[in-house]
Structures are given as structure tokens and as C-alpha cells.
């Protein structure tokens, strides 16, 4: 089996267990508070790590290119409370503009 399909099958299995643990197994019972708090805390650093890596790196190197302009534009759009789809379009447009200049 290819590395890609191995990833798809095992990752979907692990993901499904995480998705279904609450609805299928627990029902109304609760997880230990510690564990749910940890799960609550993970998204912020994980998403920020994804933002940083998808903007400021290429392979194993740090980079600073037009994507940074797009990210700043996205931040301004979010601060102006524009909808998700507009934020994404603004980021793409700003990046394209920075590349064209």
C-alpha cells in the first residue's frame, strides 16, 4: 500500500475515534475535566502554529514573501469583522498584488 493511502486510512480511523468518542461511547457521561480542558487549550497554539508555518516557511527554511502581505490583509479584514469568504478573497488579492508589484 502506498504511503499516501496508509496515511488516509490510519488518519481517518484515528480521526473517527476522536470524533465519535463523545456521541457513541460517552453519551451523557463526561470526560475527566483535565482532559477536556487540555482539548480546549490545544486549538489556539495549533492553529497559530499552522498560520505561522504556512506563511513564514518553505520546506525547512524560514521565508518572508508575499504570503505575509496576504496574512496582514486577512488580519485587517477579520478585525473589520468581514465574513470568512471575504477574508480569504482579500488575502488572495493582497498576495497577488504584492507579487505583481
Partner 1 sequence: MPSHDIERNRIVRQALSIAVAVTPFGLAFGLTARNAGLGLGEAMGFSTLVFTGSAQFAAVSVLADGGTALTAILAGALLNLRSLAFGVALAPFLGGPLRFRIAASHLMIDEAAAVGMAQQSPANRRFGYLAGGIAVFVLWNASTAVGVLFLGAMGDVVTDAGIDATIPAAFLALLWPRLSNARQRIMALGGAIVALAGVPVLPPGLPIVVAGAAVALGTRRSGR
Site for partner 1 in 5-24 (CB under 8 A): 5-12, 14-16, 18-24
CA atoms within 13 Å, Cβ hemisphere of 44? 4
Q: Could you say which residues in the range 55-74 bind partner 1, by CB under 8 A?
A: 55-57, 59-62, 66-67, 70-71, 73-74
Torsion of CA 30, 33, 36, 39, to 10 degrees: -160
80 near partner 1 (CB under 8 A)? no
Secondary structure letter of residue 21 according to DSSP: I
31 near partner 1 (CB under 8 A)? yes
26 near partner 1 (CB under 8 A)? yes
Amino acid at each position: 500500500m502506498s504511503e499516501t493511502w496508509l496515511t488516509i486510512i490510519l488518519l481517518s480511523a484515528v480521526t473517527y475515534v476522536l470524533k465519535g468518542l463523545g456521541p457513541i461511547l460517552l453519551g451523557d457521561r463526561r470526560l475527566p475535566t483535565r482532559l477536556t480542558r487540555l482539548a480546549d487549550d490545544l486549538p489556539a497554539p495549533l492553529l497559530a502554529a499552522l498560520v505561522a508555518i504556512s506563511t513564514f516557511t518553505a520546506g525547512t527554511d524560514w521565508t518572508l514573501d508575499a504570503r505575509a502581505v496576504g496574512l496582514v490583509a486577512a488580519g485587517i479584514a477579520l478585525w473589520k469583522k468581514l465574513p470568512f469568504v471575504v477574508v480569504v478573497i482579500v488575502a488572495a488579492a493582497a498576495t497577488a498584488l504584492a507579487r505583481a508589484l
